Structure 1
Amino acid sequence: MRFIVLCGFFVAVMAQRHNQQQHQQQQPQQYNNNNNINENDNKYKHIPIVSHQQNLEYDGRFNYAFETGDGTKVEQSGALKTSSFDPKSAGEAVEGSYSYIGDDGQTYSISYRADENGYQAFGANLPTPPPIPPEIAKAVEYLKSLPPHKDNQ
């Protein structure tokens, strides 16, 4: 009988310890003033969402826009579109833009369109190919003026 009482006491003590450990693990993490979860983890700055709108229609049309506290702005809209290559198929045609402030303080803006012709981006800060040197352009025009070669007929 003493063995059963002793085992019961041992089980009660172990259960109490187990409950204390679970309670300690379930304590919520404390937030600091920078809205970071841990004080040591401050490599990411909290950036608030200033505005956000979105709309989704039953026919596949949609649009959304948001702006963040650091000046980033995004907007996009799209709709189902019949393909010009295959009138029996449809896909999503999307257009939009985004802008952000770079580390140099300059605002960078990109507009884009994506449809059956692929993704096409437009912006003053995007790289462009260098102009063709006049000598090369003249040589290309000369080659175009020549009659076709016998092997290429």
Structure 2
Amino acid sequence: MKLIVALACLVASAVAAPSSPSLAARRALPALQHEEIHDDFGQYALRYVTAEGTVVSERGRLVPTPDGRAYVMVTDGETSYIGDDGKTYVTKYSAGLDGTHVEGAHLPVPVLVQ
């Protein structure tokens, strides 16, 4: 009886085993591409691509304030990834003098109440 149960478990696990590497295993892999540039003033640009299809790009640059007395780091970028449903999700974002803005077709749109 124990042999039959063990054999049934072995067959069930073989049938249920994924044919491709699991998402968790791919997420554990290092980035396929990684580019990063910095200057002496803190400005930067970066981009990387991971094994599971995530792409991140971001840039930070200094811009003068309206009165010209100081500089502010303005950041803008984009992240895209493939969801568990197989769809590609893209999120664009920016942060700077006019606040933070995030947009993506998968994100809810805020409703302004008057």
Return the TM-score normalized by structure 1: 0.52
Q: 1:69 — aligned with what?
A: 51
User: Relative to structure 2, which stretch is displaced further, 44-53 or 71-80?
Assistant: 44-53
- Superposed CA offset, 1:20-45 (max 9, x none): xxxxxxxxxxxxxxxxxxxxxxxx53
Q: Compare the two structures and name the one with the higher strand fraction.
A: 2
Q: What code does the residue aligned with 1:70 have?
A: E
Partner-residue secondary structure (3-state), 1:49: coil
Q: Kindly report which structure 2 residues correspond to 1:62-141, keeping only aligned pairs within 5 A, or say none.
A: 62-84=44-66, 86-129=67-110
Say if 2:41 is the partner of 1:59.
Answer: yes
Q: Percent identity of the aligned residues? A: 31
CA-CA distance at 1:118 after TM superposition:
1.7
- Matched residue, 2:32: 50
- Unaligned segments of structure 1, at least 5 residues: 1-43, 133-139, 141-153
Identify the structure with the greater helix proportion: 1
Give the C-alpha shift of residue 59 in structure 1: 3.2
Instruction: Give unpaired runs (5+ residues) of structure 2.
Output: 1-23
C-alpha distance in 2, partners of 1:52/1:94? 19
Give the partner amino acid of 1:120: H
SS of residue in 2 equivalent to 1:113:
strand
Q: Which has the higher contact order (CA 8 A, sep 6+)?
A: 2
TM-score for the superposition, normalised by structure 2: 0.68
Which 4+ runs in 1 deviate beyond 4 A? Answer: none
